Amino acid sequence: MNNTAKSLGSGLMGALALNILNETARRFVPGAPRLDVVGKKGLATAFQKAGATPPQGENLYWGALVGDVVSNALYYGLVGTGQGKNAWQKGAILGLASGLTTLVVPRLFGAGDAVGRKPQTKAMTVAWYVAGGLVAALAIRALSKK
């Protein structure tokens, strides 16, 4: 398997971990972040800015989920750059950066505090993105072993 495939595969593992964690927690953990809401608002805004009618209901949900997995897979795939050297550090830093960005960027685009206002909700948001980065690091390390 070449390095690009390894990087993309590890990124996909991180993205899936993040989304599985989010989808599970939002159903069972009071005060869990609503990353699904962030994705739906972002997708709807993108359609509106392009002058198109955004999808509704389940189509909006699935479109946002697929977009989130694809974009996070590409992003977390950066963990595998440099042949996976310093993967743990890269995974943690990428996750931290993405988590903090998720707390700030939605407000800039008029989505308000889509994640949630409570400190524990914000902490969970950052922790979940870091977890996704660390899963990507674990995957690249496993894929890079000879």
For the chain (length 146 residues), average pLDDT per consecutive 10? 89 96 93 86 88 94 94 95 86 95 75 71 93 96 83
Supply the pLDDT for residue 34.
Answer: 85
Supply the pLDDT for residue 135.
Answer: 98
Supply the pLDDT for residue 53.
Answer: 94
Supply the pLDDT for residue 99.
Answer: 92
Supply the pLDDT for residue 18.
Answer: 96
Supply the pLDDT for residue 111.
Answer: 58
Q: Judge whether 45 and 110 are in contact, CB under 8 Å.
A: yes
Supply the pLDDT for residue 82.
Answer: 81
